[in-house]
Amino acid sequence: MNEGFTLWFTGLSGAGKSTLANLLADELRLRGHRVEILDGDEVRTNLSKGLGFSKEDRDTNIRRIGWVCRLLARNGVIAISAAISPYREIRDEVRAMHDNFFEVFVKCPVSTLAERDVKGLYKKALAGEIKNFTGVSDPYEEPLKPELIVETDRETQAQSFARLLASLEDKKMINRKGAAR
């Protein structure tokens, strides 16, 4: 069983990355794992303050998250990133810097995200009021070979979570519930 690794959630805003990351972190802590979450919004406030939303700034932000995840993972922590990380090339760069990396694509169409969006950001982006909005006026490049795809418009949160846990257990990245460490 590998102790430290990086679990990288990617997907559009509102797809469910943070929700799944927090559910998983709680479950893993109950199972005795050491876990840290690097949430995209929190990282932008604390680690990447001052960065904008240009491609270069987004890449810098993702590199920083990846570097911190690598540092945590090599010290026996399960590092969970929940950040949009829209560009494939930088996600692949981050993957290459890790020994143990597990990418989860949290897939959901913009139409569903716009319906769910309590803040009205998608409505504003679709109306052209918000510039550089990922998935609307700025690209999101889907991963080509993620370890897992969860489709949050087609399955319940519980189904996505169960598939995620099963996949991590099957790959022996985490211990099974009730199993001795």
Residues serving a catalytic function are 85
* Phi (first) and psi of residue 14, to 5 degrees: 85, 0
Supply the mean pLDDT for the chain: 90
Question: Looking at the predicted structure, is the pLDDT value of residue 50 above 80?
Answer: no
Element (H, E) at 82: strand 78-82
CB 142 within 8 Å of CB 149: no
Task: Tell me, yes or no, whether 65 lies in a domain.
Answer: yes
d(CA 74, CA 84): 23
Domain that holds residue 159: 5-109+141-170
- pLDDT range class, residue 181, cuts 50, 70, 90: very low
CATH of the domain at 67: 3.40.50.300
C-alpha angle 87/23/27, rounded to 5°? 125
The answer as to whether 181 is a domain residue is no
Q: What is the pLDDT of residues 113-169, one digit of tens each?
A: 999 988 899 999 999 999 889 989 889 999 999 999 999 999 999 999 999 999 999
Domain presence at residue 79: yes
Reference 116, options 157, 155, 153; nearest CA is 153
φ/ψ region of 172 (left if φ > 0, alpha if ψ in -120 to 50, else beta) reads left
Does 180 reside within a domain?
Answer: no
pLDDT band, very low/low/confident/very high, at 1 (cuts 50, 70, 90): very low
**Quick check: 179 pLDDT over 60?**
no
Find, among 7, 138, 141, the residue nearest to 66 by Cα: 7
For residue range 73-87, what is the model confidence (pLDDT) as tens digits? Answer: 999 999 999 999 999
Helices 55-74 and 88-96 sit at what angle, rounded to 10 degrees? Answer: 20
pLDDT average, residue stretch 38-55: 72
Residue 115 lies in a domain: no
Average the pLDDT over 4-27 and give the result: 96
Domain count, the chain: 1
Instruction: Quote the tokens at residue 165.
Output: 């846990």
